[in-house]
Structure formats: structure tokens, C-alpha cells
Structure 1
């Protein structure tokens, strides 16, 4: 064997998995079609989101559903041509989003969420990436008093239940906290436990450099060439065909290009999202802001402001539309002081999502030496290092940091 483990996918989950396996004595190679951190791990809002303990479920109130049906909202846009592809997935997502099932998903995810910041902190210290981290939390801002009051009460209960820190800011306190913010918000919730990253792509690349410094190998290759023969897995790379006893599929939204030909029918879909950078025209924000009622995020990124959109339901390979970005930009420009666009074109990324709001982590049930680590929904950056730890513990037969049973591939009947 050339290596002990091939990790397919050099995003935050794949890089973290490679590092954790390397720490446990495995000879690991990281294979991707691009350099580390250049897909979804590059373009997110940069949140290590330890306060989002309840997954993002399918809305169940009639008003929200009616608004989405009109397809004019900022937080969701859907392409009617994609609906047949998403129909069964959305039906399962709706079913899994009942109050009882949503809370079950929250209980299953909680051990990973609670350890997310600590696992990042360990890698950040080892890789000397402290300059990329801000520990000021993030702000959830509201435009209407009724919604602000409702969410403030819910936040207080969540904070008590899960031991989180949240400060309720009225409009005056919000203005004092963030002088660069214009009028328009009646109040906000300041979640203080999360951390944020001012360059998510650089963070992933920094973790990959740490992996290489420890003797790990990074190669360019095509995951679709993966084959199993004579007790080994092999894949074609720029350095030729390599082999290993075990392989990890950590390809995010593209993971189906490996597991589907092997006969696994895991309902993985990509929620698309966009970002654009802008020159700030007022004092720079100190932390990421969520415009909660419009469904977009504005985050400070190394002297620029990054606007990231909500969810676009469209086929993975469909041409970019930019519709959501244009809608959000019209609202955010005056509120956050967005100047001219700094990117030649909007960036488009793919969030890998399962309908039960849990990732797939663990052994593939029908192939020896095949492991899965994908489907982290909106929390790939948050959960990358702790996923890598959990997977490495499973692969090396040591006690695990969390119960892995909720993340088994077998929960989806093939």
C-alpha cells in the first residue's frame, strides 16, 4: 500500500479528518481536484457556530410557507426546474422538521456542537492561526419589535437550557455596540460563545499546511476514479494511481459521485448560496451580523465586508443566478454601508445537506475500508475538526468523543 488512508476531499472536513488520523499514527494522503479550502470551505460566513444548537428546520407556519411560495423572498429562492429533483428530499425534510423530530436532531447534534470551538482552538494553536480568529461572537439583528420580542424570549430559554451566553440589545445599545450600523434594526441578540474567522479559506489551508508539516501528502486527483481491488482502494492522482487499505469520502456536496456508483442511496442535496465582497463605507463591523428577518449575513473579512446569502434551491450544476445576492444587496447596502463590489463575479457555493439535518459519519455498511464524513448542512466549518476527531476515533477503535450512532449511513435505507 502507498498509504494507510486516502481522504477524498480537501475541505474543512477532509483536512480535519486527515489531521486527526495522522495524529493517531496513520499514513494519510489528501486528494482533491483543487487545492485545500477552495470550495465551500472558502465561501461561508466564517462562523464557528457553537450557539446554533437547534438545526435549521423546514418552516411550518403558513405565513412563511406562503411567502416562500411566491418566490420573492431574500432568504430563499427556488428554481422551478429543480423541484422534481428535490421533491422527495423536501418532503422528508418537512417530516423531519416536526417539533419532536427537530428536538431529537438537536439532541443528537449537541455533543458535536458543544465541542466545536475547543477542537478548532487546538488546531488553531498548533497551526499558529490565531490572527484569523475573532472571539467576539455574532449578532442576530431584528427589524420588527414583535419578532424581536419573540426571539429574545426564545433565546433566553435556549441560553438557560444549553448554558450559552446571550445579551439582549435594544436599538440604542446596538448602535453603541456597532457605530457603523445604520438605523433600521430595533434590537438584536448578541451570542457571545461562538467565534468567527476572517478568512475561512485561509483557515482550511492553514490546517492543510499543518498536515503536510507532519508528513502528510496532498495530491490533485479525481475521486470518481476510486476503485476497490484485492483488499485495497485506489484512485488516480497527478502522481499516478495510489492505493490504501481505507478511504474516507469527505467530498461535501459531491460525495454522491463516489457513494452512488457503489450502490448507496443517501439523500444528499446541495443548498446553493452566494457571496460578494464590498468596500466598507463606514466603520467596520466588529463581528458577523445576521439580518434575521431577511435571511442574509454580513461579516467582516480582512478589511472587507462579505455578504453571504440564504438558500437557493437549484440543481447542483445549474448556472448561477445571483438573484438572492441582488435582493440581499439592495437591503444590506444602506444598513451596513456596503461600497462597491470587490469581486469580478459572485461566488457560488454548495452546502451539503441531508433531510434529517445530521451528517453522515462512519463506516459504509457494505464495503470494507470505506468511511463517510459528509452532509454537515450549514455547519461544515463549525463541525470540521470535531467530525475529524470522531471519525478518526472510530477508524482506530478508540473511545469516541460523541455517540456516533445517529450519524450512521444505515439510517437511510438503500
Structure 2
């Protein structure tokens, strides 16, 4: 079982990396303990987010900090017992969210964001997955004139990025989403993003394309990774497999592999939930809608209308806590008619995040043939194909389409 490259992790990042490496002529094995697209890649809001040119930063205004400190909000919730452990990471996140640092992060991420849709389109076309994708953007909604006015100013300030959007007053908004409550006073329709009705199935489709082109998909435990002379080896259900190069693309589980190798990167975890609801008769949701104050997105999925929550700060191993989802559902039901829940219990996912709001993409500093591609925060689905392309160019020794320096592992102490 000899390959040229082993990719650890069959989420959107790993599958996309494997596809791009395969296209460059490498014999690639893709390994995961679960089926493709069943982890964090499955549970997102289904947005290929071309309009997200400013990273999600830590709030710095005193009033916002006070509001979140009370721990009664729908968009962010924290476990009190977890805060002491998370405090150093949160402080670093806060520092990196200062205006100048945030501008630097936005500039670093822009080349990836700008190409996210085009890179997805190539895979979607090749795998014939158009049935899962719509080209009609998503709508940000507001429940107060003050919030809407501020959002319009912020949107107009983004015109330098070439984004397309429509500013919608109440009547215009209800022409596009007739079933939204009159509590919603306006919205911004972001037109550049694409939306996905089944993110898990999209990843499965990309993986099927990888296999169709001759790739091997195996079940195995990435934690068995070890280096032997000039090779890397992993135990799979088919036996030991080896390759001179290996890619760690395990999202929130990546520390399980890089920590034993001596790396200590400041990866934090933002937990998030989703729940599906039955669609009521003659009530359609034409676009994903995001209530930014409530911190949730409603999206029409194949499984029902999915409500995806914002951020929960808690230990990764902590059990599901329904408080945040209940808060979001209460607001959502006041804005849009939802049926009964479809799922027996909410889905809980883990978003891997670095405090400087950039992923790690590139070579491991201390190990030959070891490569990293993880830490994509809220934008794993968005950035999978474009980051897979960048990594493949680096491994192949090609001139990368953008400088990989901002994503280097060496920016952290390791």
C-alpha cells in the first residue's frame, strides 16, 4: 500500500486537497475514520461565502463586551467553567481583532475569498453536482432601523472589494421572501455567494469524483501516523499504508496528530449547532437568511429548513447544551414560520479557529514531507477547494497563485 501522498481527513478541506493533488499527477490516498463529509463539513449553513471579505473578529466595544459577559445572548454563549482555559486564546483573539490587525487579516484572506466560488465551480461541474447548488446569494436581515442603517453604511464601505448586493427596504425584502415577518425592517441581499442545499452530499460528491479519477479512500486512524526514515505510515483497515508526503487536514481533530509530533499551535474551537424543521405547506424560504443580531442562519436544505447557530465557547467534549439553539429558535419563529423539528436531537459541530483568523496552510517546520491544511474557522466549506489548490501548488513546487506566507505555521511558536 504505497502512495505518493496520504491525506488525513475526508472533510471538505481534505477531499479538496486530495482532488487538487491528484490533478497534479500524484497517487493519493484519502484516509478518515468516518465517511466523507460527516464531520464539521456536514453541519454548516451551506454558504460558499464570497462576500465574507472581513473575518469574524472579537467584539472590542465596551457595550458589546458587557452584553456578551451577561451570557444571555443568542449569537454567543459560553460555559463558565471553560472560560479560564479559553482565556489566553480569547485574549489573543481580542488583540488580533484590533483595527490594524483586522485589516491585515482581511488582506491576507482576500485572495482565498476572491477565488472560492470559481474553485468550487470546477469541482461542481466535473462531479455534476449542480442540483445541490444555487447561484442566488443570501440575505442578511435586520429587526431595527438603527441596525439596518449601520449595516447599509458597512456594506457600502465594501464596494472597493467589488461585491454585488442589493439594499432592500421592508416591501422590497418581502418581494424576495414573502413569508418573513414585518418585524424585519430591511435586509441586504449579498449576490456573489452560492448556496448549497446539502453540504454533506456535496463533499461526498467531490469524494466520488476523486475515486472516479482513480483515488483511494480508506478507513483508518490518523493518530497512528508515524515517520520512518524517509516515509510516513498510517494504519488503515486495509493494512499499513506509506508515502513520502502526508497532509494533515483533520479540522478540529488536527491537534490529535500534530501535538504528538511536538507542535503546539493556538487552535481554539467554536462550537455550533444546527436543527432541521419541517416546511409548512405553501411556505417557502427562497434564500438563506441570516439574523446577525440573533447569530443564526435559516437555510432551505434537502432535510428541511436548517437553523444554524453562532458561537458556543465550551469544552469540545462537553455534551450538547440546547440553551443557544432554544434562544435562536425563539427568535427565528418570530420572524419566519417553522414547522416541528425533524431531528431527534440537535447536531453539534466544532469549528477550528486560530486567533489571527487565518488557517495554517503549508509545510510543517520540523518534519520533511509533513504538510498542514486546517483552522479555517467559519469558512471550511467556502475555502476547501481554493486552499486545496494552494497546498497542491506548494507541494508540487509550482508558483502558487498567491503568497502562502500569511498562512505559514511559523507565524506561531511551535
Whether TM-score is above 0.5 comes out as yes
Q: In the aligned structure 2, how far is the partner of 1:340 from the partner of 1:271?
A: 27
Q: In the aligned structure 1, how far is the partner of 2:62 from the partner of 2:117?
A: 36
Q: In the aligned structure 2, how far is the partner of 1:317 from the partner of 1:26?
A: 36
Q: In the aligned structure 1, how far is the partner of 2:170 from the partner of 2:141?
A: 10
Q: Is the 8 A contact 1:288 1:298 kept in 2?
A: yes
5 Å-filtered alignment, 1:12-411, equals 12-158=12-158, 160-281=159-280, 283-302=283-302, 304-411=304-411
How many Å apart are 1:183 and its aligned residue? 1.8
Task: Render the CA deviation track for 1:28-53: whole Å, top value 9, x for unaligned.
Answer: 00001100000010000000000010
Q: Is the 8 A contact 2:22 2:28 kept in 1?
A: yes
Task: Render the CA deviation track for 1:174-227: whole Å, top value 9, x for unaligned.
Answer: 111111212211100000000000000000000000000000011111111100
Q: Is the 8 A contact 2:15 2:203 kept in 1?
A: yes
SS in 2 for 1:382: helix
Indicate the RMSD between aligned Cα atoms, in angstroms: 0.9
Q: Is the 8 A contact 2:276 2:303 kept in 1?
A: no
Q: In the aligned structure 1, how far is the partner of 2:71 from the partner of 2:142?
A: 22
Task: Render the CA deviation track for 1:281-322: whole Å, top value 9, x for unaligned.
Answer: 252111111011111110011262000000000011111112
SS in 1 for 2:327: helix
Task: Render the CA deviation track for 1:116-138: whole Å, top value 9, x for unaligned.
Answer: 00000000000000010011100
How many Å apart are 1:334 and its aligned residue? 3.1
SS in 2 for 1:274: strand
SS in 2 for 1:338: coil
How many Å apart are 1:115 and its aligned residue? 0.3
TM-score for the superposition, normalised by structure 2: 0.99
Task: Render the CA deviation track for 1:314-352: whole Å, top value 9, x for unaligned.
Answer: 011111112110110111123121110001110000101
Task: Render the CA deviation track for 1:99-120: whole Å, top value 9, x for unaligned.
Answer: 0000100000000000000000
Aligned residues: 413
Q: In the aligned structure 2, how far is the partner of 1:334 from the partner of 1:72?
A: 18
Q: Is the 8 A contact 2:177 2:287 kept in 1?
A: no
Q: Is the 8 A contact 1:251 1:374 kept in 2?
A: yes
TM-score for the superposition, normalised by structure 1: 0.99
SS in 2 for 1:379: helix
Task: Render the CA deviation track for 1:136-192: whole Å, top value 9, x for unaligned.
Answer: 10001000101110110110110x210011110001111111112122111000000
Q: In terms of mean alpha carbon deviation, does 97-106 or 173-182 score higher? A: 173-182
SS in 2 for 1:122: helix
Q: In the aligned structure 2, how far is the partner of 1:362 from the partner of 1:145?
A: 45
How many Å apart are 1:84 and its aligned residue? 2.1
Contiguous gaps of at least 5 residues in structure 1: none
How many Å apart are 1:80 and its aligned residue? 1.2
Q: In the aligned structure 2, how far is the partner of 1:303 from the partner of 1:82?
A: 33
Q: Is the 8 A contact 1:76 1:311 kept in 2?
A: yes
Q: Is the 8 A contact 1:136 1:286 kept in 2?
A: no
How many Å apart are 1:269 and its aligned residue? 1.4
SS in 1 for 2:349: strand
SS in 2 for 1:41: helix
CA 1:128–1:381 in structure 2 vs 1: closer, same or farther (change >3 Å)?
same
Contiguous gaps of at least 5 residues in structure 2: none
SS in 1 for 2:188: strand
